[in-house]
C-alpha cells in the first residue's frame, strides 16, 4: 500500500527522492480522511518552501485541509493537471496525484522522515484510537 521507496510525515505527506529533487504528495490515509477532493491549490514554480510550513491547500466537499512541506527547497514544478481533475488525489494519491516537485535545499533532510514501515505503524495506531 505505502511505497517502500517513499518517506512520510506525521501530517500525511510523502516524498519520493531522486538525486537532489523530490516529488511530494499526500498519502492514501490522508485522501481517505479528506473524502472527495474538489479543489487543489499549489505554489508556482520558483516558490521557496520551508519544512513544516504550509505550501498548499486541498479541499474536499466537507472541509479544507492545509498541506505542509516535508522538507525545504524550491518548487520546480506543480501538478497543474490536478486543477481540472482534483479527484485524482482520491484515486491515485501515491502516483498521478503528486502535488509538486522540488529541488531540496538539503537532500539529507528527507532521510530523517519516516519510512513506509514506520508510517504504517503510525497510522495503525491512529486508527485504533478512532475505532475504540
Q: Find the binder of other proteins among 44, 64, 81, 106 (CB under 8 A).
A: 64
Which set of grid coordinates corresponds to residue 100? 509538486
Q: Find the binder of other proteins among 20, 28, 38, 65 (CB under 8 A).
A: 38
Q: Find the binder of other proteins among 44, 45, 61, 81 (CB under 8 A).
A: 61
Classify residue 28 by its DSSP letter. H
Q: Is residue 44 close enough to count as binding other proteins by CB under 8 A?
A: no
Q: Look-up: residue for cell 514506520? A: 118
Listed in order, strand segments (DSSP E) in 33-104 are 37-41, 48-49, 54-60, 64-68, 73-78, 100-104
Q: Is residue 130 close enough to count as binding other proteins by CB under 8 A?
A: yes
Q: Look-up: residue for cell 508556482? A: 44
Of the pair 21, 47, the CB lying nearest other proteins is at: 47
Q: Is residue 36 close enough to count as binding other proteins by CB under 8 A?
A: yes
Smallest distance from the beta carbon of 29 to other proteins, in angstroms?
A: 12
Residue 57, by phi and psi: left (phi above 0), alpha (psi -120 to 50) or beta? beta
Smallest distance from the beta carbon of 37 to other proteins, in angstroms?
A: 10
Q: Is residue 28 close enough to count as binding other proteins by CB under 8 A?
A: no
Amino acid at each position: 500500500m505505502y511505497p517502500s521507496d517513499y518517506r512520510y510525515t506525521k501530517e500525511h505527506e510523502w516524498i519520493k527522492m531522486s538525486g537532489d529533487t523530490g516529488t511530494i504528495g499526500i498519502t492514501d490515509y490522508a485522501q481517505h480522511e479528506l473524502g472527495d477532493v474538489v479543489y487543489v491549490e499549489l505554489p508556482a514554480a520558483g516558490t521557496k518552501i520551508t519544512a513544516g510550513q504550509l505550501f498548499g491547500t486541498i479541499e474536499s466537499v466537507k472541509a479544507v485541509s492545509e498541506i505542509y512541506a516535508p522538507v525545504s527547497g524550491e518548487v520546480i514544478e506543480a501538478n497543474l493537471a490536478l486543477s481540472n481533475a482534483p479527484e485524482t488525489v482520491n484515486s491515485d494519491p501515491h502516483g498521478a496525484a503528486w502535488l509538486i516537485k522540488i529541488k531540496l535545499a538539503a537532500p539529507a533532510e528527507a532521510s530523517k522522515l519516516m519510512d513506509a514501515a514506520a508510517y504504517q505503524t503510525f497510522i495503525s495506531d491512529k486508527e485504533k484510537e478512532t475505532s475504540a
